[in-house]
Amino acid sequence: MPESSNFSIVQAGPKNADLLIQLIHELAQVHNNHDGPEINAKILAHDLENHACFAFIAYSGEEPAGMALYYLSYSTWQGQVAYEKWYKRLSLNVLDWNENATKLYDSLGAINLTKDEGWLVYRFDEERIRNLAQDP
């Protein structure tokens, strides 16, 4: 990065929901998800306000350059899941075709749980959750 660049990362809040949604839609395009995400700025602002999720925005000068959106989870093995708050683990999801991300995570020393430990990621979407709730 050139010395003249002015790069910063700031914590985002509900007032940044519109910008975060714009960045989320840009990310959806990169992932070839042309329908885009279902979330909107109102929902995201509510979730940020109520600490259902948290976010950072990266700026290059005055221009938004990226974002990180995260939420807390709990490990039955280790308790809480970032370093400053005594968290024990940071888990990342990345698509298998995103070589830039996988190379970055590998270079930073992240453990590929699929390759090294055989962990697979499963998800129940809204319809499947509804089906689970209806079955006795």
Catalytic amino acids? 105
Assign 3-class secondary structure to 29-63. HHCCCCCCCCCCHHHHHHHHHCCCCEEEEEEECCE
Residue 13 CB neighbour total at 10 angstroms = 13
Residues with Cβ within 8 Å of 78's Cβ and at least 6 positions away in sequence, in order, are 88, 89
Give the CA-trace dihedral at 99, 105, 111, 117, to 10 degrees. -20
